[in-house]
């Protein structure tokens, strides 16, 4: 004899069967509920491969009452005078007559009823009349108008220095304090939503972690750390970037020389009374130093090759001269529109420029930086990645070079108004020698910025005897954008999106370098560079 069941008993039977086949709960994770009264944990279970939370846990956390309605095939959830109706067969919730969609219906398990985690932001916020934001990436449930900026942390290490980049959305006021073996970045916020990089310890940074307070971020320092400086860069779309540069003994040597020259140039000349008290020798009257403070006002971008000189070519016909010109033009637009600097192109069209003429263009325009763009090639299709180089002096006679730079053959020239000045005449092939230290600093910054966005060859910025750099009388680097001999990289180098990524890395490099050399402790808060123990 066949027996029939009522619809209600069919539904309950179905729920029991589902609970026993695939509804078992794996090891639980949790969400953190943040509110103005503190924080608490909320367990998360995966049900049917979807993150869900138990209604009983929500009831305890938010003072809800839950009642199962077998006749209506669902549930009612009540908060004060507000009632939410859920159905076990549809991903819908009725909130005061308003229908809200959910990614799945509620599910009954051996531990009670569960709802999708999206219930918190889509339904619960309406019930309690308080905005609730669910951030699944960090496992945060933000109740009310709390300030919880998203902080994406990126880390790069280069030649004697490293950089921690904190991308803040939205921008949050902050201070940086140096303590024993660590830097503390203290944000004016209620908590932080942080994504930390996956990295191991090195000589400059041992670890990057959350601090002892909810709105603190700690940078544990390595054994070779000496000093740091920070720079805040305003961004677009509500995101700002805090750059924290960390230096070892090797890096500050070049940086200190750069800043020392700038500081020396800012010292006032001797007073008139002091000059009059000194013995007067019109032929050798001491004059104030004419060295100008280090600034970055003009940038020369050298798009390698051009015209009949196509450079290397990829297997599908992508030409080096075209890639370098496209990246150079994108970089020029970014610098002019966002930094307001003067940009000079060695070529802005497909034409031939002699190698020595490129540095001459930079010198004649009194450029502060020279960046030469090229593409690489190999006999093997395997090598890939960008590469940064600055001038190597290995091919020069060091003894002879030092004599030229030390004034072994100076020339005396008259000065308007009386007196004379001794000027060291530096030959063309020696023009870059006095800028090698700063070129190395620039190369390390470019290398670090490229690594944040594109593939870069293993190792640090290289020193190489490139002819195009020899005559540049300013800091100069050569950037190999990638290998056209590698089919996959050739495809990327020909793509506008990849060209834009390269140009953005170069733009950020120039912005960082400019901030570094122009920084003054009395004019740039939070950007000081001091030895440890003097704070």
Reported confidence tier of residue 72, pLDDT bands at 50, 70, 90: low
> pLDDT by residue (tens digit) across 262-297?
444 433 333 333 333 333 333 433 433 444 457 899
Is the predicted pLDDT of residue 492 greater than 70, yes or no?
A: yes
d(CA 371, CA 478): 6
Closest CA relative to residue 251, chosen from 220, 219, 224, 222: 224
Q: 497-523 burial, b if ≥16 CB within 10 A, otherwise e?
A: ebbbbbbbbbbbbbbbbbbbbbbeeee
> pLDDT by residue (tens digit) across 165-224?
898 888 889 999 998 899 999 999 999 999 998 888 888 999 999 999 989 999 999 999
Q: What are phi and psi of 157, to 5 degrees?
A: -130, 135
Reported confidence tier of residue 3, pLDDT bands at 50, 70, 90: very low
> pLDDT by residue (tens digit) across 24-63?
333 448 899 999 888 899 999 999 889 999 999 999 999 9
- 46 by DSSP, 3-state: which? strand
Query: What is 408-454 written as a DSSP string?
Result: SSEEEEE-TTS-EEEEEPPPGGGTTGGGHHHHHHHHHHHHHHHHHHS
- For residue 306, what is the DSSP state? B
Do the bridges between strand 65-69 and strand 369-376 make them parallel or antiparallel, or are there none, so unpaired?
A: unpaired
- For residue 49, what is the DSSP state? T
What's the pTM? 0.47
What six digits make up the tokens of 233? 């860069």
Return the H-helix or E-strand segment holding 121. none
For domain 292-517, the question of CATH label 3.30.750.24 is answered with no
For residue 200, the model assigns a pLDDT of: 84
Fold of 7-143: Copper Amine Oxidase; Chain A, domain 1 (3.30.457)
- 119 by DSSP, 3-state: which? helix
Return the H-helix or E-strand segment holding 8. helix 7-20
Sequence spans of domains, the chain: 7-143, 150-248, 292-517
Closest CA relative to residue 118, chosen from 81, 145, 93: 93
C-beta neighbour count of 194 within 10 angstroms: 16
Is the predicted pLDDT of residue 345 greater than 70, yes or no?
A: yes
Reported confidence tier of residue 506, pLDDT bands at 50, 70, 90: very high
Do the bridges between strand 107-109 and strand 112-116 make them parallel or antiparallel, or are there none, so unpaired?
A: antiparallel
Name the residue with tokens 């912005």.
511
User: Which CATH number among 2.60.40.3500, 2.40.50.1070, 1.10.357.10, 3.50.50.60 corresponds to the domain 150-248?
Assistant: 2.60.40.3500
Closest CA relative to residue 300, chosen from 350, 352, 356, 347: 347
């Amino acid at each position: 004899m066949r027996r029939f069941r009522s619809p209600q008993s069919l539904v309950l039977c179905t729920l029991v069967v589902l609970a026993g086949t695939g509804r078992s709960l794996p090891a639980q994770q949790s969400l953190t509920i943040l509110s103005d009264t503190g924080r608490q944990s909320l367990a998360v279970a995966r049900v049917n491969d979807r993150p869900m939370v138990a209604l009983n846990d929500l009831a305890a956390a938010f003072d809800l009452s839950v009642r199962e309605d077998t006749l209506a095939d669902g549930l009612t959830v009540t908060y004060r005078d507000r009632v939410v109706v859920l159905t076990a067969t549809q991903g819908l919730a009725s909130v005061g007559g308003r229908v809200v969609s959910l990614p799945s219906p509620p599910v009954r398990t051996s531990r009670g009823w569960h709802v999708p985690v999206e219930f918190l932001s889509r339904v619960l916020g309406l019930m309690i009349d308080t905005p609730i934001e669910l951030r699944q990436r960090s496992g945060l449930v933000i109740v009310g108008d709390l300030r919880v900026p998203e902080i994406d942390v990126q880390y790069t290490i280069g030649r004697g220095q490293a950089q921690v980049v904190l991308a803040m959305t939205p921008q949050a006021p902050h201070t940086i304090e140096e303590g024993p073996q660590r830097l503390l970045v203290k944000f004016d916020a209620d908590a932080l939503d942080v994504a930390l990089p996956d990295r191991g310890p090195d000589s400059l940074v041992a670890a990057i972690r959350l601090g002892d307070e909810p709105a603190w971020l700690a940078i544990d320092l390595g054994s070779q750390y000496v000093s740091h400086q920070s720079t805040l860069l305003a961004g677009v779309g509500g995101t700002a970037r805090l750059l924290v540069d960390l230096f070892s003994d090797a890096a500050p040597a070049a940086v200190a020389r750069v800043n020392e020259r700038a500081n020396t140039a800012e010292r006032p000349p001797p007073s008139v009374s002091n000059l009059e008290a000194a013995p007067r020798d019109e032929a050798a009257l001491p004059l104030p130093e004419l060295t100008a403070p280090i600034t970055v006002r003009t940038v020369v971008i050298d798009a390698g090759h051009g015209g009949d000189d196509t450079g290397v070519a990829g297997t599908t016909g992508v030409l080096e001269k075209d890639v370098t010109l496209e990246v150079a033009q994108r970089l020029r637009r970014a610098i002019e529109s966002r930094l307001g600097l003067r940009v000079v192109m060695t070529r802005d069209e497909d034409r031939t420029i002699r190698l020595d003429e490129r540095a001459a263009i930079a010198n004649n325009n009194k450029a502060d930086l020279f960046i030469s763009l090229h593409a690489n090639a190999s006999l093997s299709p395997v090598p890939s990645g960008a590469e940064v180089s600055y001038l190597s002096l290995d091919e020069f006679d060091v003894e002879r070079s030092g004599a030229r730079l030390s004034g072994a053959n100076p020339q005396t020239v008259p000065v308007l108004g009386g007196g004379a000045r001794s000027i060291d005449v530096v030959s063309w092939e020696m023009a870059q020698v006095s800028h090698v230290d700063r070129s190395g600093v620039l190369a390390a910054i470019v290398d670090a910025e490229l690594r944040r966005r594109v593939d870069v060859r293993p190792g640090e910025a290289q020193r190489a005897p490139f002819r195009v750099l020899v005559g540049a009388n300013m800091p100069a680097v050569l950037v190999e954008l990638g290998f056209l001999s590698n089919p996959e990289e050739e495809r990327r180098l020909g793509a506008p999106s990849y060209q834009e990524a390269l140009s953005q890395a170069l733009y950020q490099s120039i912005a960082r370098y400019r901030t570094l050399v122009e920084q003054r402790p009395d004019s740039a808060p939070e950007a000081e560079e001091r030895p440890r123990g003097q704070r």
